[in-house]
Amino acid sequence: GAGVSQSPSNKVTEKGKDVELRCDPISGHTALYWYRQSLGQGLEFLIYFQGNSAPDKSGLPSDRFSAERTGGSVSTLTIQRTQQEDSAVYLCASSPLRGGVPDTQYFGPGTRLTVL
Amino acid sequence: QKEVEQNSGPLSVPEGAIASLNCTYSDRGSQSFFWYRQYSGKSPELIMSIYSNGDKEDGRFTAQLNKASQYVSLLIRDSQPSDSATYLCAVDNYGQNFVFGPGTRLSVLP
């Protein structure tokens, strides 16, 4: 079946511009996560959506970052006024429920963001 | 702050040897444990999940969990150069606190 998809795969932008990154989770997965991974570094948690609950935004690094999930499916991560330190790979993951709670996370291919 | 710790490596093993990757976690309430593999430039992919104390085997991979010691490990038997990657340990507490470790870089030498 179809996995998690993300678009665009690559995005080059100029400092100060806004960008939108899209994630299509696996159908039926109620939990959706966004991570950031800088070159050679580990995964940095950004935000977590689960069903209709309020999202866990505790990982967003600044108020320039926001995310929404429409209809419990597609999610968009928006970065306003991009800075060079925002350059990284942005990964989305979705997970099914196991025993009523999110379980294994399945990752998309990521969006490589480069801010010039 | 809930933490998951792993040796960053690199861990180098000769081809055909057993690679042993270790992970410790701080949240005693953790119930689900995962090992992911990440090749350079790619996204993480699931290798195994484990939920109960003891060993779980899948092909050349064996996950070992000891909740009392807050320790989970991954053994890779007959290591191949294609196993060279970064291995991420992840721990979850009923979906409330999914945390990834920093990863261990494994290099299997031909």
Q: Which residues from chain B sit within 8 angstroms of residue A102, using beta carbons?
A: 92, 95, 98
Q: In the predicted model, what is the mean pLDDT of residues A100-116? A: 94
CB A26 within 8 A of CB A3: yes
Give the number of C-alpha atoms closer than 13 A to the C-alpha of residue B94, restricted to the C-beta side.
Answer: 3
Q: Which residues from chain B sit within 8 angstroms of residue A106, using beta carbons?
A: 46
Mean pLDDT by 10 residues, chain B (110 residues): 85 97 94 96 95 96 97 98 97 84 96
Q: Does B93 touch chain A (CB under 8 A)?
A: no
Q: Which residues from chain B sit within 8 angstroms of residue A31, using beta carbons?
A: 95
Give the number of C-alpha atoms closer than 13 A to the C-alpha of residue B39, restricted to the C-beta side.
Answer: 7
State pLDDT tens for residues A55-74. Answer: 999 999 999 999 999 887 99
Q: Does B95 touch chain A (CB under 8 A)?
A: yes
Q: What is the pLDDT of residue A32?
A: 95
- What CA–CA distance (Å, rounded) separates B46 from A72? 24
Burial A4-30 (b: 16+ CB within 10 A, else e): bebeeeebebeeeeebebebbbbeebb
Give residue A1's pLDDT band: very low, low, confident or very high (50, 70, 90).
Answer: low
User: E-assigned strands of B7-44?
Assistant: 11-14, 19-25, 32-38
Averaged pLDDT of chain B: 94
- Among A101, A104, A109, beta carbon nearest to B46: A104
Question: Closest Cα of chain A to B42: distance in Å?
Answer: 7
CB atoms B43 and A103 under 8 Å: no
Averaged pLDDT of chain A: 94
Alpha carbon dihedral A42, A62, A54, A41, in 10-degree steps, equals 0
Q: List the structure tokens of B26.
A: 């701080």
CB atoms A107 and B100 under 8 Å: no
Q: Which B-chain residues 19-78 have CB contacts (< 8 A) with chain A?
A: 32, 34, 42-46, 49
Nearest chain A residue (CA) to B32: A103
Structural Rg of chain B based on CA atoms: 13
CB atoms B45 and A108 under 8 Å: no
B85 SS3 class: strand
- Among B49, B88, B100, beta carbon nearest to A104: B49
